[in-house]
Structure 1
Amino acid sequence: MALAGSAPAYSLASTTAVLVGAAGLVSPAALLWCAIPMLGIAWAFNYLGRLDVNAGASYSWVGRALHPSLGFLSGWSLVVSATIFMVAGSLPAGQYTLSLFSSDWANNTWASIGVGAVAFLIMALLVLLGARITAHAQWIMTGIEVAILVAFGLAALIHGGSAATFSWSWLWGFGHFGGIKGFSAAALVAAFYFWGWDVTANLSEETSNSKRNSGLGGLVGVVGVFALFEVITIAVNLIISQKDITDPNSPPLLTTLGNTVWPGAGGKIMVIAVVLSTIATLETTLIQVTRSLFAMGRDRTVPSVFGRSHSRWQTPWVAIAVVVVVSLGLFVASNSLGSVSKIMADAVAAIGLQIAVYYALAGFAVVVAYRKLVLKSVSNAIFVGLWPLAGAVFMAFLFVENCMNLPGVQIAIGLGALALGIIPMTWYWIKGSEYYRTGTQRLDATAADAVDALYGESTLAASASGTGDSLATDI
């Protein structure tokens, strides 16, 4: 699920041109320098999940460890970023599917929206039917996708290319980013590449042995997608020129990569990988946003109807229905924004700002929750102290730096969507939601038996807070 959430083939197909536009040949370095702090955030999710099994994940953790208003902001950041992604994900799904039949159809925004909407609705149905069927579908789709990427990526590296000669500077990037401004822009795009691995945290209430498996899944997901991203990005540098990568009229880069390895059939196979990846990540993103809304509805920080689960399928059916309706409206509205490539560039930057918010807050939250245990051992100091803190500071840096440098439309989408959250937060705070009361149980690792963060297991069976329905253990 974590691999599917990060969607390696989709991320490479839809975002490589944006990353190359920001980092050029040192795009692999941007991915590396984002992967290190991102892994720190994955450690934060791992240890926070040991203390609180909650479908809201960072929404619940940040609210209990730092402050309820910050917790709501964390949850809202995920909700709006995932909702925007429904457009950013569905458009390439439609575009790449159409490219199997006609390049003219693939360049038609309305056609891409239509086909993407159909794919989205099918995934919404699978999510509605329960976590078990969703997980089985992911095994198939993501397994095929990863196998294709590994095979073609390694074959491309062996094949080599004439576009550029490999340089170790691609992996380190020192002096090639164009200063702090250039580095922050590239790293924000790289953060979007990785985003989605934390779906395992939102599935914690439906996962067996979730205190271990949810966090471990996220860690494995970050490492796995990083390896795939590096192999394919280096191969793209070797085979396709920088000009062709960023040219919106060029053939899809993964199609070109596939045809280089296996002329004729290779491009079609890579397109299949992208379609599977896109459909898979639409499914995991739907899980994230609907589980977050479920937890928020259960706590009555948004309308309580969102906290209802289906009596048979044990899924948050109201949240799923609302997200589907809103997303379909955004599909139609997105056509007015221009071409698919322009919509993608704006969406990637806006989502990057939003995910930087809740990742940073989670990194700070784990340090606070484990603050009395950080100095108990070296592993504690590293895995619940320094590494998550460094990840949080890095994400906060990306947010602040890019707020000062991104174009106005991207800032408006990113921050405007976040600002909308002030309305429900203020309303339900005034109404006296239990979530905002000062007596709410704080998240404190000293209440658990875990002494060593690396080896010890927390025995704090903190149940999901609030009232309302719960989600069944299913996966």
Structure 2
Amino acid sequence: MSADTARRPAPTAASPDATPDTGLAKSLGVRQGVVIALANMSPTVSIGLGLGLLGAIVGTGLPATFLLAALPILGIAVGYARLSAREPNAGTTYIWARRALGPWVGFQLGWIGLATSTLFLAYGAQLSGQFTLGVLHELGAGVDPESMKWATAIGVVWTAAIAWTAVRGVELAARVQGILFGFAVIVVTAVCVVAFFGLGDGGATADFSASWFNPFGFDSTSIMAGGVLMAAYTFWGWETAFSVSEENVDRKVAGKAGLLSIAIAAGMFIFASVAFQRSLSADEFAEHGANALPYLTDKMFGGQGALVAYLAMLLSTLACLQSSVIGGARLTMAMGRTGVLGERWARLHPKHRTPAFSTYVTVAAALVIAVVGVALGKLSDVIMATVNAVGILVSFSYGTVGLACVILFRHELRASVKNLVTMAILPGISGIALLCLGGYMVYTNWTSVDSIAFDANNGRFLVAVPVAIIVLGVPIAAWNRFVRKPGYFTLPRGVDPDTVHAADHG
């Protein structure tokens, strides 16, 4: 472990405006944090791939769906902001949940974050390859846009380049993400503006109605719950703003960036929802839901509209991959500092002061899974099932952190109304709401079919995969606790395992 990392002091309340010295380069402000979080949420890809599918389910209640979905996410983000301001740590939930609920729960959240991050990188690599093939196909290159082998091969190259950029420095990575994601935002915004005002060749098919924002206007409670459930997980990734909290210029940057990024994404989703409903009929939603953005772009602009849409989604996916690489590497770095992973995971690049080993190994593992998944189709089903059912895991993680926030700050709630609201009411209620949404997702998926099948579209399989990930974390935690015995498990909750482990091995 590096000398800089070994000198890391325990967080104290005496210096609330400074982050601990971990050896990481401290260069990020709110703007960079917003870019990193938005890139990981990738609202442009969600608009391109998911908005049409969601619209086919909830009908004209699409704007209201996103408005409702943003509320519990914002509530959890408020809790994250208070936790990060008190203890900025790259391990985020892995560290905070340990203090509140013990190392077994904390490790489980860390394990879930590691598993979902790795599997999503494998999926994202293939997705970037598919969008690349889509661009080439629209250019008339004669490639097969459905070829998983070529998509994976191209995705491996893209992801390797992204990892190299991430190691060069998080500030550089944020600049690259800003360029990639910025282009995608410009394209999607332009399409939505044209669709909203009915300026394109297709014109507008529906008049704007305030009833689209009515939270009580859904055809049924089950439709509303299912829609809000799907919409809530389009925000997944905002917490990356907190994974770089040790690289921020002060403790409050992560909270501001996280909340602002959610607000921006919610605005994009709601505006795009209105624009889509102005220009697409119910039949078009049903027929073109999975490719609504390319279809709408072609409808509005004709000619090479689909090419521009695919290019925008490709660049947005690359920005998302880079942000995912950054978040995953910092989680494993935190696990290395606490002894759960080997010390080399916590080592920083001697020049760029980034977790190079964590970055390269995390990406390598994801790419191996992506490549093997092509050779073994069943593994690809597991990857897709994890992505499709990630809401179960996200609900568990977000909900647990919301409750952990209440527990950690329970002695400070009477100090002020602000403390009561931001430390207990908002994160607590939001955490319970998300746990309930996750439970509802388990119920609806499980009861949607009569039997389980090894298929990424089978409801019971979509429950079995995330549950298997959670269950697998138990023996891994037990091996750490009783065989490796790192400070993360053996030290009292109030002792910072980062500091003690670093001091023991410095």
Which TM class, normalised by the smaller chain length? 0.7 to 0.9
Q: Secondary structure of the equivalent of 1:467? A: helix
How far did 1:294 drift?
Answer: 0.9
Asked if structure 2 preserves the Cα contact closer than 8 Å seen for 1:88 and 1:343, the reply is: no
**CA deviation map 1:419-471 (0-9, x unaligned):** 221222111111322112352316xxxxxxxxxxxxxxxxxxx89545349xx
How far did 1:49 drift?
Answer: 0.4
Residue ranges of structure 1 left out of the alignment (5+ in a row) = 443-461, 470-475
Q: Find the counterpart in structure 2 of residue 192 from structure 1.
A: 233
1:67–1:163 Cα change, 3 Å: farther
**CA deviation map 1:169-211 (0-9, x unaligned):** 432342526434x4443333223210111111110111211x1
Q: Secondary structure of the equivalent of 1:100? A: helix
Asked if structure 1 preserves the Cα contact closer than 8 Å seen for 2:96 and 2:404, the reply is: yes
Q: Find the counterpart in structure 2 of residue 437 from structure 1.
A: 490
- Where do 1:83-232 residues align within 5 Å? 83-102=118-137, 105-159=144-198, 161=203, 163-174=205-216, 176=218, 178-180=220-222, 182-209=223-250, 211-232=251-272
TM-score by length of 1: 0.86
Q: Secondary structure of the equivalent of 2:136? A: coil
How far did 1:297 drift?
Answer: 1.6
TM-score by length of 2: 0.81
Q: Find the counterpart in structure 2 of residue 447 from structure 1.
A: none
**CA deviation map 1:311-333 (0-9, x unaligned):** 22322223222222221232234
Asked if structure 2 preserves the Cα contact closer than 8 Å seen for 1:14 and 1:92, the reply is: no
2:461 corresponds to 1:409 = yes
**CA deviation map 1:226-285 (0-9, x unaligned):** 10111112222332344444547x883212222333333443333222111110010111
Q: Secondary structure of the equivalent of 1:33? A: helix
Aligned partners of 2:429, 2:97: CA distance in 1, in Å? 17
2:388 counterpart (349, 352, 377): 349
2:501 corresponds to 1:467 = yes
**CA deviation map 1:341-383 (0-9, x unaligned):** x889734432211111221122112212222222332222222
Q: Find the counterpart in structure 1 of residue 279 from structure 2.
A: 239
2:322 corresponds to 1:310 = no
2:108 counterpart (69, 73, 96): 73
Q: Find the counterpart in structure 1 of residue 97 from structure 2.
A: 62
Asked if structure 2 preserves the Cα contact closer than 8 Å seen for 1:83 and 1:323, the reply is: yes
Asked if structure 2 preserves the Cα contact closer than 8 Å seen for 1:52 and 1:463, the reply is: no
Q: What is the RMSD computed on CA atoms of the aligned residues?
A: 2.7
1:258–1:294 Cα change, 3 Å: same
Aligned partners of 2:475, 2:353: CA distance in 1, in Å? 29
Supply the AA of the counterpart residue of 2:49. S
Q: Secondary structure of the equivalent of 1:216? A: helix
1:385–1:359 Cα change, 3 Å: same
Aligned partners of 1:287, 1:467: CA distance in 2, in Å? 23
How far did 1:299 drift?
Answer: 0.7
Q: Find the counterpart in structure 2 of residue 39 from structure 1.
A: 74
Supply the AA of the counterpart residue of 2:247. E
2:474 counterpart (422, 430, 442): 422
**CA deviation map 1:49-92 (0-9, x unaligned):** 01111110111111112222111111122111212211332333
**CA deviation map 1:285-308 (0-9, x unaligned):** 111111111101211223443222
2:41 corresponds to 1:6 = yes
Supply the AA of the counterpart residue of 1:174. F
How far did 1:165 drift?
Answer: 4.7
Asked if structure 2 preserves the Cα contact closer than 8 Å seen for 1:6 and 1:193, the reply is: yes
Q: Find the counterpart in structure 1 of residue 301 from structure 2.
A: 262
How far did 1:9 drift?
Answer: 0.9
Asked if structure 2 preserves the Cα contact closer than 8 Å seen for 1:188 and 1:353, the reply is: no
Greater gyration radius: 2
